[in-house]
Amino acid sequence: NYNEVLYAGCDYVTDNNQLAVYPDDPYEGATWDEENPADQNWAFEAIEMPSAWEYNNKLNDTSIKIGVVENGYYTSHEDFPDDYEIFDESNGNIDGKNHGTGVVGTIAAKSNNGIGVSGIVWNPGKMLLGINDSQNWTSSSVSLFTRLVENGAKVINLSLFAGIYGEEAALIIAKLVNNGYDFIAVQAAGNIPEEDSQYNGLFCTITDEIAEKVASETGLTAEDITGRKICVAASTKTESGYWYAG
């Protein structure tokens, strides 16, 4: 109510860098500059991780389970989070663990422990970690996504391609929503600057029109479907600068 406001003004102006929050993890001696990503931590600067750390008091909700679908993890890594559960559908078909370990580290690496790096969330809830089958990538990834949601994951990271598109992808979300599950799917938009995010398949291919069609067939609203997915542009470092796919 404007009539109740006697005065509104600014006491002082300060540089946001003065308010920035940084952990004591060394990042191999790298410095921080979100405006000019460089050094070993350039990818973390590109996604403005220090700005996210300013909100750690809001992110540190250990009751929220975080899901990840990948093709393996080095769980013995010194910065790997302690509280996790593995869901293995790989059938022994694992091509590599570096990518999955990096994804988990970006989300929730142990922080302020004086070694390695720090995750976005310094005190995460339980991590539900799916291991997909490199020989049956799409089917195992979708199966794991569903299992992680059904086991309580509220945010599920999918830094991957999957060969399911449009209405089929929307139906996956619609079924889970109709079964009463509350979740957000976060999928990578791809790594190639020139490519549209839809080339990465799965939830990145759900347009507003597709969501409206599937919603009308499943008793939902279009927002019930589109509001459950986020497609994230991936940063790519090149000789000429930094690009964001998607």
SS3 242: strand
Structure pTM?
0.87
CA distance 211 to 224: 9
Rounded to a whole number of angstroms, the CA Rg of the chain reads 20
Q: Which residue has the tokens 């790298």?
A: 30
H or E element, residue 218: helix 208-218
| Residue-by-residue pLDDT tens, the chain, 246 positions | 567 777 777 776 655 554 567 889 988 888 888 888 888 888 888 888 988 898 888 888 899 999 999 999 999 999 999 999 999 999 999 988 999 999 999 999 999 899 999 999 999 999 999 999 999 999 999 999 999 999 999 999 999 999 999 999 999 999 999 999 999 999 998 776 656 677 889 999 999 999 999 999 999 999 999 999 999 876 666 666 655 544
For 117, what's the count of Cα atoms within 13 Å in the CB-facing half-sphere? 26
CA distance 203 to 151: 20
